[in-house]
């Protein structure tokens, strides 16, 4: 709910920084040589009941607010908050530091009101499109470092809900539709954050795949489908990434809220995956005291409706055993000890802006996907003479970003000042609906690279005018943007505001029309056949303009591959079944808005069941099994060079495949070589699964042997009755190539 904070801009003035780090701790737990679990155990033993309770809940929605707004004296604790998305006061007596949390999926959020600069990284979907695990680590480490420089010790950024529904407004802050790709990228991402002494998180666990009705959606999906799709992504990410925390989601799964769902939290996450960290609720996603505590929730955020006095009373009455409360606190402390939060005094400093630029640009360049390039219109010749028409998308001002809690404040303010809100708009409409542009101008970057040409900009509002400029130009580059945000889904996948008409008109006027997309998810392209080239640049971050220009003019050879399917039409997508339930639960208590303010935010909406018919077949698996042609398939992306695959060898004992990859073109380039498997017939699957990949950089003419290990869970099915993974016996078909729909190498692997 960070988007409400601008209301409290004044608060920053009242906020004093907590000077220095935590006071020295005074017990055996302060010995950094002891393992984190031992330190956590010792510290819990030293805590009073009140101190334990203090650790398991936040202090309110607007703990950073200036209480003069409510006419009340502020509680002193408010002034120790760092102004981030969440705050839990520490316990000086025991040396427990304040827990300072902030949203940070694509950069540390909400800093401008605190006078802080954060690097706006390209969207997480752009990162996923790089398929580069080292880059994911570097991207996240940069954000982790900035969080630490700003005084935070827990990140709230680590989203990996699978892209089942391309219209989901939050796809830009997630890692695509495939459980292996999303899971492994998320693991690398969490490791990167945690390498900087920050408690890492994965969210939103689980099946929070749409924003519409997110507080009330009861997802119904057989366990097999859930385990083989989104829960598989979490399983890989939790086991490989070992996050300190997992955030449970708003929605329900099979009748229970995710934050009090014994199956999700206790049975799977904690017992089956043997994960020692703590479960934190999404903001306002706690709905009970005893049920939530017993079923696995360890921390209520951001307020204290259920896990403060109510939890204390429940412990005193024996409804929640003291051992369970101890376990909650121990998990939190384990994560803090392991991240080094107790041992390192915060060193506030201004982030290294230039390092940020470097990593942001590198990630943007690696994530850009070249979708079409007829007659090799790209790369454009930097020596070209004549006119280049740059049209639309505010390319003269900046690049678009995604909204909601993953919004990074634009340095220097929004490059495209928003239009005044429509009459009758709610505050949430305004906050979710306001596109924010970062000040990295594609126009300027293009001008810098095309120094012999005359680069002319047209804002695209007058379509005929834009087309006539394009007609007289050597090449036309149309920028098209689609804003998406937390809190709302897209009605459809069309580009808004007549941009399709603009592109069609420009393409009709100039055969060398290049479309650059800045989108948070897939879009439809009714003009595709008429344009020469399409570059998907996603939300490219604070150096997005430079990254785009480098790709357009060939300084960077694009190597990104789609992490999600682009459908031709919404009709080809799975159609979820929605069943409204009677408003049985009445108004939902969302916790106190802010101290002294309206006591409760009450929302009264019907619960509804949502059945996702695709189950395990999210994304390309649905398209394959339904034999539907997408616009662009998962894993697709062109390069300015070409690659050839040959010589597939399968090593069944090692569960590994190897082949030769050769750069057959004239330029150096990187290829994401992908391996898919089709399980033996007994699995009954009409689709292939991504089982592994390697990103390989090759010089022109160079060839290399590429070995790809097949992930064991990509070869297994979840046996719902037995409650475990089983690898079917029989013949696995193997496919290798540069895209899910183009796999020149085929082989077999027998598992007996
Ligand atoms: C979002 C979370 C976010 C939290 C804190 C919630 O509404 O769903 O992703 O971390 O707010 O801002």
pLDDT score recorded for residue 213: 85
Q: Beta strands of 149-292 (E only): which ranges?
A: 154-155, 201-205, 217-220, 245-248, 252-253, 256-257, 278-281
pLDDT score recorded for residue 425: 80
Phi, psi angles (nearest 5°) of residue 43: -70, -40
Index of the ligand 1 atom closest to the CA of residue 103: 10
Q: Is the distance from the beta carbon of residue 156 to the nearest atom of ligand 1 less than 6 Å? A: yes
Positions of the chain with pLDDT under 70: 1-25, 62-79, 113, 582-606
Question: Exactly one of 178, 256, 282, 298 is catalytic; which is it?
Answer: 282
| Residue with CA closest to ligand 1 atom 3 | 405
pLDDT score recorded for residue 113: 67
Q: Is the distance from the beta carbon of residue 546 to the nearest atom of ligand 1 less than 6 Å? A: no
The CATH number assigned to the domain with range 620-751 reads 2.60.40.10
3-state DSSP percent of the chain in helix, strand and coil, to 5: 30, 20, 50
Superfamily name with CATH number, domain 368-552: Glycoside hydrolase family 3 C-terminal domain (3.40.50.1700)
Instruction: Out of 160, 212, 283, 488, give the residue to mutate to test ligand 1, the one with the largest number of ligand atoms within 8 Å of its CB.
Output: 283
Instruction: Out of 64, 82, 85, 169, give the residue to mutate to test ligand 1, the one with the largest number of ligand atoms within 8 Å of its CB.
Output: 85
Q: Which residues pair with 247 in a beta bridge?
A: 280
The first and second tokens of residue 592, run together, are 């106190």
pLDDT score recorded for residue 582: 61
List helix spans (H) across 510-569.
544-552
111-150, pLDDT tens digit by residue? 776 778 999 999 999 999 999 999 999 999 999 999 999 9
Of 640, 569, 566, 580, nearest to 163 (Cα)? 566
Q: Is 381 a catalytic residue?
A: no
246-302, pLDDT tens digit by residue? 999 999 999 999 999 999 999 999 999 999 999 999 999 999 999 999 999 999 999
Ligand 1 centre distance from Cα of residue 141 (Å) = 21
What is the number of alpha carbons within 13 Å of residue 511 lying toward its C-beta?
Answer: 4
pLDDT score recorded for residue 392: 98
Instruction: Out of 282, 404, 590, give the residue to mutate to test ligand 1, the one with the largest number of ligand atoms within 8 Å of its CB.
Output: 282
Q: Beta strands of 147-255 (E only): which ranges?
A: 154-155, 201-205, 217-220, 245-248, 252-253
The CATH number assigned to the domain with range 31-63+73-339 reads 3.20.20.300
pLDDT score recorded for residue 75: 55
Q: Are 327 and 185 in contact (CB under 8 A)?
A: no
Ligand 1 centre distance from Cα of residue 299 (Å) = 14
| Residue with CA closest to ligand 1 atom 4 | 283
736-749, pLDDT tens digit by residue? 999 999 999 999 99
Ligand 1 centre distance from Cα of residue 433 (Å) = 17
Ligand 1 centre distance from Cα of residue 351 (Å) = 24
Phi, psi angles (nearest 5°) of residue 214: -65, -25
- Break the chain into its structural domains and give their ranges: 31-63+73-339, 368-552, 620-751
DSSP reduced 3-state for 368: coil
Distance of CA 624 to the CA centre of its chain: 25
Residue 496 to residues 272, 435, 524, 572, Cα–Cα distance (Å): 45, 13, 11, 20
Q: Which residues pair with 403 in a beta bridge?
A: 485
Ligand 1 centre distance from Cα of residue 87 (Å) = 13
Distance of CA 441 to the CA centre of its chain: 24
């Amino acid at each position: 709910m960070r988007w409400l904070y601008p209301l409290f801009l004044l608060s920053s003035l009242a906020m004093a920084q907590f000077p220095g780090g935590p006071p020295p701790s005074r017990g055996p737990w302060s010995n950094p040589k002891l393992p984190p679990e031992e330190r956590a155990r010792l510290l819990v033993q030293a805590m009073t009941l009140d101190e334990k309770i203090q650790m398991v809940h936040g202090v309110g929605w607007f703990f950073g607010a200036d209480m003069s707004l409510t006419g009340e004296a502020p509680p002193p604790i408010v002034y120790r908050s760092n102004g981030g998305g969440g705050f839990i006061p520490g316990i000086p007596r025991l040396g427990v530091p304040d827990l300072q949390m902030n949203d940070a999926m694509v950069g540390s959020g909400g800093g401008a009101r605190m006078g802080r600069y954060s690097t706006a990284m390209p969207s997480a979907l752009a990162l996923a499109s790089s398929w580069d695990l080292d880059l994911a680590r570097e991207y996240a480490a940069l954000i982790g470092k900035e969080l630490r420089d700003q005084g935070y010790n827990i990140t709230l950024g680590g989203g990996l809900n699978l892209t089942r529904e391309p219209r989901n407004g939050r796809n830009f802050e997630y890692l695509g539709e495939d459980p292996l790709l999303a899971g492994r990228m998320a693991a690398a991402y969490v490791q990167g954050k945690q390498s900087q002494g920050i408690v890492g998180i994965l969210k939103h666990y689980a099946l929070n795949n749409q924003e519409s009705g997110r507080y009330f959606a009861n997802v119904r999906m057989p366990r097999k489908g859930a385990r083989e799709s989104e829960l598989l992504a979490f399983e890989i990410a939790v086991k490989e990434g070992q996050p300190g925390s997992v955030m449970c989601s708003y929605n329900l799964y099979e009748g229970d809220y995710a934050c009090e769902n014994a199956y999700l939290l206790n049975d799977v996450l904690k017992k089956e995956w043997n994960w020692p960290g703590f479960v934190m609720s999404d903001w306002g996603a706690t709905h009970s005291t005893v049920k939530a505590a017993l079923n696995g929730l360890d921390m209520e955020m951001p307020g204290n409706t259920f896990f403060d006095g109510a939890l204390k009373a429940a412990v005193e009455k024996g409804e929640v055993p003291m051992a369970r409360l101890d376990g909650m606190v121990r998990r939190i402390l384990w994560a803090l000890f392991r991240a080094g939060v107790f041992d390192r005094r915060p060193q506030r400093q201004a982030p290294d802006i230039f390092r940020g630029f470097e990593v942001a640009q590198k990630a943007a360049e690696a994530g850009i996907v070249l979708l079409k390039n007829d007659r090799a219109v790209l790369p454009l010749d930097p020596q070209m003479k004549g006119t280049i028409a740059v049209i639309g998308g505010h390319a003269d001002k900046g690049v678009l970003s995604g909204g909601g809690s993953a919004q990074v404040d634009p340095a220097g303010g929004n490059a495209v000042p928003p239009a005044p809100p429509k009459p009758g708009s709610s505050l949430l409409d305004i906050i979710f609906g306001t596109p924010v542009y970062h000040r990295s101008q594609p126009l300027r970057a293009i001008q810098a690279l095309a120094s012999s040409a005359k680069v002319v900009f047209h804002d695209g509002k007058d379509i005929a005018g834009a087309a006539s400029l394009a007609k007289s130009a050597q090449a036309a580059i149309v920028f098209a943007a689609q804003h998406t945000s937390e809190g709302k889904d897209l009605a459809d996948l069309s580009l808004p505001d007549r941009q399709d008409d603009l592109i069609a008109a420009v393409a009709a006027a100039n055969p060398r029309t290049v479309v650059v997309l800045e989108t948070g998810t897939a879009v439809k392209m009714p003009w595709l056949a008429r344009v020469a080239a399409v570059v998907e640049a996603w939300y490219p971050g604070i150096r997005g303009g430079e990254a785009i220009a480098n790709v357009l003019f060939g300084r960077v050879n694009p190597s990104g591959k789609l992490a999600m399917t682009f459908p031709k039409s919404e009709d080809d997508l799975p159609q979820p079944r929605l069943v409204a339930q009677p408003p049985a639960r009445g108004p939902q208590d969302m916790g106190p808005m802010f101290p002294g303010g309206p006591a409760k935010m009450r929302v009264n909406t019907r619960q509804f069941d949502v059945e996702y018919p695709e189950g395990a077949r999210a994304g390309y698996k649905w398209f394959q099994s339904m034999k539907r042609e997408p616009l662009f398939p998962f894993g697709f992306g062109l390069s300015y060079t070409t690659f050839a695959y040959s010589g597939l060898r399968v090593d069944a004992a090692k569960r590994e495949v190897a082949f030769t990859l050769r750069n057959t073109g004239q330029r150096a380039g990187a290829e994401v070589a992908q391996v898919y498997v089709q399980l033996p017939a007994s699995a009954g699957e009409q689709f292939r699964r991504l089982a592994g990949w390697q990103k390989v950089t090759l010089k022109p003419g160079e060839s290399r042997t590429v070995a790809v290990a097949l992930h064991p869970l990509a070869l297994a099915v979840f046996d719902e009755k037995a409650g475990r993974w089983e690898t079917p016996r029989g013949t696995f078909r193997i496919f290798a190539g540069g895209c899910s729909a183009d796999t020149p190498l085929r082989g077999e692997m027998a598992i007996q």
